[in-house]
């Protein structure tokens, strides 16, 4: 498992505003979109390409295009939806799947309630979107889900992570597959309710309200 923490003043600035409890939902949604676009730049650094010959106004040259099959972007519902546009803005040719996972608040385990993914993900680069890597349970379940379908190149894009969640993820993934984690920051710890400290609260509620 490889961890990449984005180190950029714009990332730090936007994350600070996201953390502020006074930031309204409309601003929160906009900043998540902008922040994910910055994270997507790092997450796609090793996206697969192939040569493509083109003609410029001056001459012919060889550039690159994204390889087939197209990357697959998978937001983890519901909070991951707030990250989707920022990611697909960078790779508009990507296909999009959906995975519904939620945390059981009594056991803190991830429970699957929706799945809209191809049955065969062999040779597909998969980008999982989940704002918070807290306990790690949700992301472990999502990674296992795509591995069962043949994926072997998985990148998770998160706003925040915890040392505890990263350890759980590293232990669960092991050397089975190449997994990259791209985050804006690694926070201090989990509290007794398994929320990230200092964190930014419940990302889904702050994006969409309490429903």
Single out the catalytic residue among 56, 59, 60, 107: 107
Size of the chain, expressed as the number of residues it contains: 211
178 carries an active-site annotation? no
153 carries an active-site annotation? no
Read off the tokens for 148: 């069962």
205 carries an active-site annotation? yes
Single out the catalytic residue among 29, 103, 149, 152: 103
Distance between CA 84 and CA 32 in Å, rounded?
A: 10
**Which of 149, 108, 100 lies closest to 129, judged by CA?**
100
65 carries an active-site annotation? no
Q: Give helix 25-43 / helix 9-19 axis angle, nearest 10°.
A: 150
Give strand ranges (E) for 71-124: 72-77, 95-96, 98-103, 110-116
Read off the tokens for 134: 């807290």
Q: Active-site residues: which are they?
A: 103, 107, 202, 205
């Amino acid at each position: 498992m490889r961890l990449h923490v984005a180190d950029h003043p714009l990332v730090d600035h936007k994350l600070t505003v996201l953390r502020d409890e006074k930031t309204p939902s409309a601003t929160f949604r906009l900043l998540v979109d902008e922040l994910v676009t910055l994270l997507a730049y790092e997450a796609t650094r090793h996206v697969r390409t192939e040569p493509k010959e083109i003609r410029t106004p001056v001459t012919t040259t060889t550039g690159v295009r994204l390889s087939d099959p197209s990357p697959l972007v998978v937001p983890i519902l519901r909070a991951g939806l707030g990250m989707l546009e920022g990611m697909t803005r960078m790779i508009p040719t990507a296909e999009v799947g959906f995975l519904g996972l939620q945390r059981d608040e009594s056991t803190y385990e991830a429970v699957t309630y929706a799945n809209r993914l191809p049955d065969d993900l062999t040779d597909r680069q998969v980008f999982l979107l989940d704002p918070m890597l807290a306990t790690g349970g949700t992301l472990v379940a999502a990674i296992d889900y795509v591995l069962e379908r043949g994926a072997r190149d998985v990148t998770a894009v998160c706003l925040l992570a915890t040392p505890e969640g990263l350890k759980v993820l590293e232990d669960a993934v092991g050397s089975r597959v190449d997994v990259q984690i791209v985050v804006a920051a690694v926070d201090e710890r989990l509290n007794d309710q398994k929320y990230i400290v200092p964190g930014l609260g419940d990302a889904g509620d702050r994006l969409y309200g309490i429903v």
